[in-house]
Structure 1
Amino acid sequence: MQSRSSLSRSTAHRLLKRLVHAEYVEHDLVTRSYRPGRVLTEIGAALSRDAHVHETDRAVLQRLAAATKETVHLVALRATNVIFLDSVEGSQMGSAIGRVGRTLPSHATAAGKVLLAALTDAEVKAIYPVELIRGGRGHSSVPRVDFLAELELVRARGYATNDGETEPDVSAVAVPLLDRFGFARAAVSVTAPRSRASDAWMRKTALHAARITAGETLS
């Protein structure tokens, strides 16, 4: 790494320690070599499975980020978790940081909710076979019956929200990204500080997101 960059030995060592701590790389103590860690492995696997999504929809993220000035993510469902495949960071002061490569509990994220809402209740119950769904901020839990009721609301209005359920100061709104057959293949999520994410902002942003993902032009 040092030989291929202009970094000093000490700087390269500190950077690698941070990458190891964040699970982007692993350090083999026997060979003293480094290899891709859990996070990079998950990103590679996700992008391999969802290459067509990643390649064709970055323009959607860019348009929505320009319209909202907030950070926009492309998210895929992985059963009880979602993985963030791509992001375009917002231009406003205090915009959320991109989460590419991160996984979060599906039931606690706007993107996860909107993708789970595309499934039947029976399919959701297969993913969550117990009556109490655990996870989310502070290891909180939610009764499955309440979560199914929330998904019914998501289906009715066409978007899902997250009001500090994964991070205390962050809110998000998400809409499904549909394929040509009308099936949700991913979600587009707009993330903002809770101080800017009023109910009116959620509704307006959801409308922008729905129109942009459908290929419409905002006036």
Structure 2
Amino acid sequence: MEQPTVKVKSADRVLDILELFIGKIGSYSLTDISKLLSMPPSSTHQILQNMLARGYLEMDETGKQFRLGYKLFEIRTEYTKNTDMKREFYRVADSLSSDLNEMVLLAIRSADKVLYIAEKQSSQALRITGNLGAVLPLYVSASGKIFLAQLTDEEIDEIYPNEELEMLTKNTIPTKTILKQQLQHVRLENIAYNLGESVDELRCIAGAICNVEGKAVASLSITIPLMRVTDEKWSKMLDGIKRSCEEISKRVFC
């Protein structure tokens, strides 16, 4: 005998809201969602606030329209990394490591942190401690700046309501104003740098792995101890990041 399907009304409503975004419209107001799904405005508001708090939705620049949030991209990236993303990362990382012999990392955004989900260690006698599974504030890491560069100034203000930023080292970006200025360069180059901002003696270059919409869903980075940095090696790292990010983006998402 076939078991009856158990339906939870609130869960159905959350899924109905998410499925609205399958269409061509990228954002909806509370009123739009309430009318389209025949839901009372009061309960619609409560559900939307819960989805905002959990990262499944976010507000647009006007503060009146809802659109898909980072959590869904994080889930998709987590799924993808176990298949094509992970395979492509290690293929590219093997090549970069062979050429540069420095640590290569793959990262995703997790709220206001960057989460490292895959790594390829170097064979140098002096190695960097593995970062797999580690998290860092977005603003102190090259990969984190890649994700911040995707956001508007208003969204950055929500993450960092205070002007002063916590200093992890003497090189950490000290204020939100300076961070926003630096992110302008990241947007132009699609490349970000960490110049001893999380650990004094480390340097890092990161680039964006983008989906078909051009949104950074992951970041590829190379980390190197300061003592091994030369102009030639830095240039090779930069070229390698640009080439590898483009390659992974095309192979996984196109």
Q: What is the TM-score normalised by the length of structure 1?
A: 0.69
Aligned equivalents of 2:110 and 2:229: distance in 1? Answer: 27
Letter in 2 for 1:74: L
Larger radius of gyration: 2
Structure 1 residues 64-73 or 185-194, which shifts more?
64-73
- 1:153 counterpart (185, 188, 201): 185
**What are the Cα deviations for residues 106-165 of structure 1, in whole angstroms up to 9, with x where unaligned?**
111111112211222222222212211224237966111011001111122221111111
Task: Indicate yes or no: 2:132 matched with 1:100.
Answer: yes
Residue aligning to 1:12: none
Aligned equivalents of 1:124 and 1:104: distance in 2? Answer: 16
Taking a change above 3 Å as real, the CA distance of residues 69 and 118 of structure 1, as seen in their structure-2 partners, is same
Residue aligning to 2:226: 194
Aligned equivalents of 1:95 and 1:47: distance in 2? Answer: 31
Q: What residue ranges of structure 2 are gaps of 5+ in the alignment?
A: 1-73, 249-254
Task: Indicate yes or no: 2:78 matched with 1:50.
Answer: yes
Residue aligning to 2:116: 84
Q: Number of paired residues? A: 171
Taking a change above 3 Å as real, the CA distance of residues 158 and 51 of structure 1, as seen in their structure-2 partners, is same
Taking a change above 3 Å as real, the CA distance of residues 206 and 139 of structure 1, as seen in their structure-2 partners, is closer
**What are the Cα deviations for residues 157-206 of structure 1, in whole angstroms up to 9, with x where unaligned?**
22111111111221111001111221100101101111123455334312
Task: Indicate yes or no: 2:105 matched with 1:73.
Answer: yes
Percent of pairs with identical residues: 26
Q: What residue ranges of structure 1 are gaps of 5+ in the alignment?
A: 1-45
Higher fraction of helix: 2
Taking a change above 3 Å as real, the CA distance of residues 182 and 140 of structure 1, as seen in their structure-2 partners, is closer
Taking a change above 3 Å as real, the CA distance of residues 80 and 203 of structure 1, as seen in their structure-2 partners, is farther
Letter in 2 for 1:149: Q
Aligned-residue Cα RMSD (Å) equals 2.5
Residue aligning to 1:126: 158
Taking a change above 3 Å as real, the CA distance of residues 187 and 69 of structure 1, as seen in their structure-2 partners, is same
Q: What is the TM-score normalised by the length of structure 2?
A: 0.60
Task: Indicate yes or no: 2:144 matched with 1:112.
Answer: yes
Higher fraction of strand: 1
Kept in 2, the 8 Å contact 1:114–1:154? The answer is yes
Aligned equivalents of 2:75 and 2:98: distance in 1? Answer: 24
Taking a change above 3 Å as real, the CA distance of residues 48 and 178 of structure 1, as seen in their structure-2 partners, is closer
**Off by >4 Å, runs of 4+ in structure 1:** 46-49, 138-141
Residue aligning to 1:181: 213
Kept in 2, the 8 Å contact 1:161–1:174? The answer is yes
1:207 is paired with a residue whose SS is: helix
